[in-house]
C-alpha cells in the first residue's frame, strides 16, 4: 500500500536531481580535500587497540595494573593544627616493564611557600583594593604549607636517594624492580594543616571561634604513589591545584591518633570499634545496623554541646583497614554529631553515614544520610552493586569533595536554622554528586589529572538520574509546588547557553582539565548532558543503560581511558556513535537545526512545463506520468486540490489493477497534500531531526530522522512528505531535548517569538 506513495515520490526526486545537475555544471574547477565528513570514523583520534586495551573497549588479555599498599601511623596535633605520619608503601610491579625508580605524589606542596601554582595565574593591579586583600597579598608572610619530608628509607633502614620536583618525588630503588616484584619503603613526613575556609582547598580545617575548635577534613595528606600504566607510563604530570588525581588501587592499614574527645571516621573498616566507642555508642550502632528507614544518632547534638565545654589532653587511636581503594581520607573533630542508617544493596547491607557540626542542623539530621542511601541505590542500579561497606557524608563549609567511602559537602542553614531552597537543594545535590563519585572515579578509576570529564561528566549524568529518583523516593524533600527534583544539570535545555556562547571561552570536552575554560560547564555540565541526551533521545534508555552498565562493570576496580568508554558504548549496543563522540566530545560545535523552507504541492494528471520537458528529454509518454504543482504557482489551478489522482490517471489506475488485489487496493491511502520540507543546520553538530507535524484536524505526528540524514549534506536536507490531511504547522525539537541553541528557526510557519527582554518587561508590567 505504500507503493503508490513511492511511485509519485520517485518522480518528485527526479526533478530535484535534474536541478542539482544543472547547478553543478556552472561551477569553477575545485580543489580536493581530506575527509571532513562528520561521520568519519574516529581512527585518527583513537589509538590502535592492543593486548592491553581491546577494540571492544574491554580490558585486553594483557591488561595489568600496579598495586600500592600502605601502612600508616598518623598523629594529629590539634593545638598546632599539624599532621605527622610514618608510612610504609609496598609497591607491586604487575607491569611487564622493569622500573628503575618510583614516582610519589606530594600534593601538599601546592601550598608550599615556593609553590609555582600561583605563578601560572594571571593577575593585575586594580584601582582599588579591600584592606584585608591588600594586607594578605602584599604584606603578610603567607601560609607555611607543604610537606616536610624527614626521611625516605628502604626496609633495611638505609636512606633511599630521592629527588623532589615540586609536587612529585622520584624515589630510586637499590636495584631495578622487575616485573612481578614488590618493593617496600617508608616515608616520614609532617605538614601544617591549612584553613580550608579562608585559604580554600579540598582539605584542611574549619575553625569555630565561638568554641575554639576545629573540624578537620583531611585528604591528599600523605605521599601517594603515582599511577604507572600502558597509556602514560608514569602519570607524573604536576599538580597545579585544579586538576585532580590519578591513583593506583591498594590496601590501607591506617592508625590515626587524635584527641580523646574527637569523633573520627574515614576510608575503611573500623577495626577497634570497642576501644573507641562508648557503651551507648555501641548500642546505638547495633540499632543503626537494623534501621533501614530512619538514621540512628550515634553521637547526639546534646552530647556534643556538653563535650565541647572542655578539651581533653589525652589521645585515642582509631584503626582503619580498607581493601582495594585508590585513596584514603578522614574527618575528625570533637564537634561532630554522627548518625547512621542501613541500606540494602543487592543482598548485603551498607551503612549510610553522616557527620556534621550543630550548625548543619536541621538540614543535615533530616536529609544527609537519606541522600547517601538513596544515591547508593540509584548508582548501584545504573552501574554495579556498591562494593564497599559504608558511605559517609561529612559536612564542611564550601566543600564538595570526594574520597573512597567518604566525602565533604556544603549546605548550611543560617544561625537561626533557616535555609533557602537554594541551600537545601545545593546540599542534597552535592551529597548525591560526591557520594556518586565512589563509583566514578573511586571504583571505575579513570585518570582525573588527564580527563576531568571522565569522572565528573559520567558522575554528573548519573547524579541527574539519582536526583530524579531521590525526588520520587523522598517527596518530602521537595518544596511546595514541585513535582520532581529541580536538577541543575542534565536537562538538554540547561546547556544551550554555554554551548551557544562565545567560542573564545569554550574548549572541547576532550581537553586536559587544567586547560579548560568554564570548568564546570566543560567537565561537568556538557558531558553530563551529552550522555543524558544520548540516553533519552539518541539511543533510548534500554540500549544505553545496558552499554553504560557494561562499561562500569568492565572497568570496575580498573583504569579506563576515554576510548575504552567510547568503544564499549558502541560494542554493547550496536549503535554507531563515532559521529556523536566526534561532535560532542572532540569539538565545540553546538546544535542548531531549523526549518528553512516548506513547499506545498498537489498531484495532477495535467502536465506541467518542467515535467513535459523531462518527458521529452527521456522520450517518455507524458500521459503516462503524474505531475506535482506547487501551491500558488502559475500552473496551479483551483481544481487540483480536490483531484483524485487514482480516478483521473488511467496509467495509475491500470498499474494498481495489475499489481494489487482488490483487497489491497481497498486499504490504500490517497494522499492529497505533498510537501517538500528543507531543514537547515546552522550548528556544526549533527543530530537526529525530531519533527512534530500538526494537521488541520488538530492531530499531530512525531517523526525522527536519524542523524545519518546529514551524512551527504551537512548544511541542509530536504524531505518529501505526503499526507491525506493538510499540515498546518511543523516544529523541530518540540520538547527541547537536543540542546538546540536557537529555537527561533524551529517552527513553520515562523513564530515571532518575544525576546527575553520584552517577555520580562511585559511580565513586570502585568
Q: Which residues bind other proteins (CB under 8 A)?
A: 110, 115, 117-118, 121, 123-130, 132-133, 135-137, 140-143, 194-195, 198-202, 207, 241-242, 244, 398-402, 410, 414, 420-422, 426, 429-430, 433-434, 437, 456, 460, 463, 479, 488, 494, 502, 504, 518-520, 524, 755-758, 760-761, 764
Q: Which is nearer to other proteins, 3 or 479 (CB)?
A: 479
Give me the residue label for grid cell 531521590.
470
* Nearest approach, Cβ of residue 505 and other proteins (Å): 8
The whole-angstrom separation of Cα 14 and Cα 343 is 65
Least Å distance, CB 217 to other proteins, is 13
Which residues, including other chains, have CB under 8 Å from residue 28's CB and lie 6 or more apart? none
Of 235 and 521, CB closest to other proteins: 521
Among residues 161 and 242, whose Cβ is nearest to other proteins?
242
Q: Helix 578-586 and helix 526-533: axis angle, to 10°?
A: 160
Tell the smallest beta-carbon distance from residue 322 to other proteins (Å).
20
CA distance 6 to 631: 21
Instruction: List, in order, residues 6 or more apart from 372 with CB less than 8 Å away.
Output: 343, 352, 353, 354, 391, 392, 393, 431, 435
Query: What is the CB neighbour count within 10 angstroms for residue 117?
Result: 17
How is the beta sheet containing 263-266 ordered, strand by strand?
204-208, 213-218, 330-333, 263-266
Instruction: Give 116 or 633: the residue with its C-beta nearer to other proteins.
Output: 116
Of 25 and 480, nearer to other proteins (C-beta) is 480
Length of the chain (residues): 766
What's the closest the beta carbon of residue 543 comes to other proteins, in angstroms?
28
For residue 444, how many other CB atoms are within 10 A of its CB?
26
Q: Shortest gap between Cβ of 227 and other proteins (angstroms)?
A: 18
Residue 430 Cβ vs other proteins, minimum distance, rounded to whole Å: 5
Minimum Å gap between C-beta 712 and other proteins is: 32
Q: Which is nearer to other proteins, 132 or 619 (CB)?
A: 132
Nearer to other proteins, 384 or 524 (CB): 524
The least CB distance from residue 414 to other proteins, in Å, is 7
C-alpha cell at 352: 549510610
- Looking at beta carbons only, is 57 or 360 nearer to other proteins? 360
Edge-to-edge strand list for the sheet holding 689-695: 700-705, 689-695, 727-732, 747-748
Phi then psi for 227, rounded to 5 degrees? -85, 135
If you write DSSP's letter for every residue of 608-657 in order, what string do you get?
A: PHHHHHHHHHTT--GGG--EEEETTSTT--GGGGG--HHHH-HHHHHHHH
Decide whether 137 or 708 has the Cβ nearer to other proteins: 137
Q: Do residues 581 and 559 make contact, with C-beta atoms less than 8 angstroms apart?
A: no
In the complex, the smallest distance separating the C-beta of residue 652 from other proteins, rounded to whole angstroms, is 52
Q: Kindly tell me which of 658 and 756 has the beta carbon lying closer to other proteins.
A: 756
Three cell numbers written together for 285: 550502632
DSSP notation for 173-235: EEEEE-TT-EEEEEEEEEEEPPBTTTS--SSEEEEEGGGTEEEEEE-S-S-EEPPEETTTEE-
Cis before 78 (ω within 30): no
Name the minimum Å distance from CB 494 to other proteins.
7
Rounded least distance, CB 132 to other proteins, Å = 7
- The Cα 431–Cα 371 span in angstroms is 7
Q: Which of 638, 635, 644 is nearest to 603 (CA)?
A: 644
- β-pairing, 204-208 vs 99-105, is unpaired
Closest to other proteins by CB, 65 or 115? 115
Write down the H helix ranges in 71-191: 131-134
> Are β-strands 406-409 and 594-604 bridged in parallel, bridged antiparallel, or unpaired?
unpaired
CB 715 within 8 A of CB 680: yes
Q: How far is the CB of 434 from other proteins (least distance, A)?
A: 7
Q: Given the complex with other proteins, which of 139 and 638 has the nearer CB atom? A: 139
Amino acid at each position: 500500500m505504500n507503493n503508490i506513495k513511492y511511485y509519485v515520490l520517485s518522480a518528485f526526486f527526479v526533478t530535484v536531481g535534474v536541478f542539482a545537475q544543472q547547478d553543478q555544471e556552472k561551477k569553477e574547477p575545485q580543489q580536493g580535500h581530506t575527509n571532513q565528513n562528520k561521520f568519519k570514523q574516529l581512527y585518527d583520534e583513537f589509538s590502535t587497540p592492543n593486548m592491553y586495551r581491546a577494540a571492544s573497549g574491554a580490558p585486553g588479555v594483557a591488561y595489568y595494573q600496579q598495586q600500592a599498599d600502605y601502612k600508616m601511623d598518623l598523629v594529629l596535633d590539634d593545638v598546632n593544627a599539624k599532621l605527622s605520619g610514618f608510612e610504609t608503601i609496598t609497591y607491586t610491579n604487575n607491569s611487564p616493564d622493569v622500573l628503575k625508580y618510583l614516582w610519589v605524589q606530594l600534593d601538599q606542596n601546592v601550598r608550599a611557600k615556593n609553590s609555582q601554582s600561583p605563578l601560572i595565574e594571571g593577575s593585575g593591579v586594580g584601582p582599588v583594593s579591600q584592606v584585608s586583600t591588600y594586607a594578605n597579598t602584599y604584606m603578610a608572610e603567607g601560609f607555611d604549607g607543604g610537606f616536610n619530608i624527614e626521611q625516605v628509607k628502604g626496609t633495611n633502614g638505609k636512606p633511599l636517594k630521592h629527588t623532589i620536583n615540586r609536587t612529585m618525588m622520584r624515589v630510586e630503588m637499590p636495584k631495578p624492580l622487575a616485573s612481578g616484584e614488590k618493593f617496600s619503603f617508608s616515608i616520614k613526613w609532617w605538614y601544617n594543616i591549612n584553613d580550608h575556609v579562608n585559604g580554600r582547598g579540598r582539605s584542611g580545617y574549619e575553625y569555630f571561634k565561638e568554641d575554639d575548635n576545629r573540624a578537620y577534613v583531611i585528604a591528599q595528606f600523605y605521599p601517594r604513589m603515582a599511577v604507572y600504566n600502558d597509556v602514560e607510563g608514569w602519570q607524573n604530570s604536576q599538580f597545579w591545584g585544579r586538576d585532580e588525581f590519578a591513583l593506583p588501587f591498594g590496601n590501607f592499614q591506617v592508625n590515626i591518633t587524635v584527641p580523646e574527645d574527637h569523633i573520627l571516621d574515614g576510608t575503611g573498616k573500623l577495626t577497634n570499634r570497642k576501644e573507641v566507642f562508648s557503651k551507648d555508642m555501641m548500642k546505638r550502632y547495633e540499632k543503626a545496623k537494623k534501621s533501614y528507614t530512619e538514621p540512628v544518632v550515634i553521637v547526639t547534638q546534646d552530647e556534643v554541646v556538653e563535650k565541647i565545654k572542655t578539651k581533653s589532653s589525652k589521645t585515642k587511636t582509631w584503626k582503619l583497614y580498607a581493601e582495594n581503594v585508590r585513596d584514603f581520607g578522614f574527618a575528625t573533630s570533637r564537634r561532630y554529631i554522627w548518625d547512621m542508617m542501613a541500606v540494602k544493596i543487592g543482598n548485603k547491607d551498607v551503612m549510610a553515614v553522616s557527620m556534621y557540626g550543630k550548625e548543619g542542623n536541621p538540614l543535615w539530621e533530616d536529609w544527609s544520610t537519606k541522600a547517601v542511601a538513596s544515591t547508593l541505590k540509584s548508582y548501584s542500579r545504573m552501574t554495579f552493586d556498591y562494593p564497599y561497606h559504608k558511605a559517609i557524608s561529612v559536612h564542611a563549609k564550601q566543600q564538595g569533595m570526594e574520597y573512597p567511602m567518604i566525602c565533604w559537602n556544603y549546605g548550611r542553614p543560617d544561625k537561626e536554622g533557616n535555609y533557602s531552597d537554594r541551600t537545601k537543594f545545593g546540599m542534597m545535590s552535592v551529597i548525591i554528586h560526591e557520594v556518586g563519585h565512589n563509583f566514578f572515579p573511586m571504583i571505575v578509576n579513570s585518570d582525573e589529572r588527564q580527563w576531568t570529564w571522565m569522572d565528573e561528566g559520567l558522575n554528573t549524568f548519573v547524579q541527574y538520574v539519582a536526583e530524579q529518583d531521590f525526588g520520587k523516593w523522598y517527596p518530602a524533600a521537595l518544596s511546595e509546588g514541585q513535582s520532581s527534583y529541580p536538577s541543575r544539570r542534565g536537562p538538554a535545555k540547561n546547556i544551550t547557553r554555554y554551548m551557544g556562547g562565545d567560542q573564545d571561552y569554550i574548549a572541547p570536552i576532550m581537553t586536559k582539565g587544567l586547560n579548560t575554560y568554564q570548568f564546570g560547564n566543560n567537565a561537568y555540565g556538557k558531558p553530563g548532558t551529552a550522555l543524558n541526551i544520548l540516553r533519552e533521545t539518541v539511543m533510548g534508555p534500554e540500549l544505553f543503560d545496558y552499554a553504560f552498565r557494561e562499561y562500569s562493570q568492565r572497568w570496575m576496580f580498573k583504569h579506563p581511558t576515554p576510548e575504552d568508554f567510547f568503544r564499549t558504548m558502541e560494542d554493547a549496543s550496536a549503535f554507531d556513535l563515532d559521529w556523536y563522540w566526534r561532535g560532542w566530545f572532540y569539538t565545540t560545535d553546538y546544535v542548531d537545526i531549523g526549518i528553512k523552507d516548506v513547499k506545498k504541492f498537489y498531484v495532477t494528471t495535467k502536465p506541467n512545463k518542467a515535467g513535459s520537458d523531462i518527458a521529452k528529454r527521456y522520450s517518455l509518454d507524458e500521459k503516462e506520468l503524474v505531475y506535482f504543482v506547487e501551491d500558488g504557482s502559475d500552473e496551479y489551478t483551483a481544481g487540483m486540490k480536490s483531484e483524485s489522482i487514482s480516478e483521473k490517471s488511467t496509467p495509475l489506475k491500470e498499474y494498481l489493477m495489475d499489481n494489487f488485489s482488490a483487497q489491497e487496493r481497498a486499504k490504500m491511502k490517497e494522499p492529497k497534500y505533498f510537501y517538500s520540507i528543507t531543514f537547515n543546520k546552522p550548528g556544526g553538530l549533527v543530530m537526529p531531526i525530531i519533527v512534530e507535524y500538526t494537521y488541520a484536524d488538530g492531530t499531530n505526528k512525531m517523526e525522527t530522522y536519524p542523524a545519518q540524514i546529514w551524512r551527504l549534506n551537512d548544511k541542509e536536507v530536504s524531505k518529501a512528505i505526503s499526507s491525506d490531511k493538510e499540515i498546518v504547522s511543523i516544529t523541530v525539537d518540540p520538547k527541547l531535548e537536543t540542546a538546540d541553541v536557537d529555537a527561533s528557526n524551529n517552527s513553520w510557519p515562523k513564530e515571532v517569538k518575544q525576546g527575553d527582554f520584552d517577555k520580562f518587561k511585559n511580565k513586570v508590567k502585568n
